[in-house]
């Protein structure tokens, strides 16, 4: 059970858009639509921001969007704001084993 692959860091200026990728295999990311994204600020618990590849929980800004192509899921944040600076993690379900797996995390810096 290997972690999903995310870039270690991304950066962008206020107002810009950035995209974070999450690459797995046909057994997890590519096998279904059970992919989620989480935002974690320092010292805080993670917060769910995208589930089911592209769905936003109530209260999450529509600046956050998700998509998937093949074995790679993506999180896009548009109109970057200083408060978006955080760590972002993807997760995916593995149907064959009923395991969940996280990506290694991506640190977003807002310049």
Can you give the binding site for other proteins, defined by CB under 8 A? 1, 3, 32, 34-36, 38, 45-48, 51-52, 57, 89, 91-93, 97-105
Residue 35 CB, shortest distance to other proteins, in Å, is 7
Residue 28 CB, shortest distance to other proteins, in Å, is 9
End-to-end CA distance of the chain: give it in Å, rounded. Answer: 35
Residue 67 CB, shortest distance to other proteins, in Å, is 16
For other proteins, the closer of residues 58 and 62 by Cβ is 58
How many other CB atoms are there within 10 angstroms of residue 102's CB atom? Answer: 16
Strands 18-23, 35-40: pairing is unpaired
Cβ-contact 107, 84 below 8 angstroms:
no
For other proteins, the closer of residues 45 and 82 by Cβ is 45
For other proteins, the closer of residues 78 and 102 by Cβ is 102
Cα(58)–Cα(51) distance, rounded to whole angstroms? 11
């Amino acid at each position: 059970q290997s972690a999903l692959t995310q870039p270690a860091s991304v950066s962008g200026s206020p107002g810009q858009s950035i995209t974070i990728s999450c690459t797995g295999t046909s057994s997890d990311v590519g096998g279904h639509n059970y992919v989620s994204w989480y935002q974690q600020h320092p010292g805080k618990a993670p917060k769910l921001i995208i589930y089911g590849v592209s769905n936003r929980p109530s209260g999450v800004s529509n600046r956050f969007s998700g998509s998937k192509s093949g074995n790679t899921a993506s999180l896009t944040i548009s109109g970057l704001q200083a408060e978006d600076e955080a760590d972002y993690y993807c997760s995916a379900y593995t149907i064959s084993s009923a395991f969940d797996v996280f990506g290694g995390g991506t640190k977003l810096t807002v310049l």
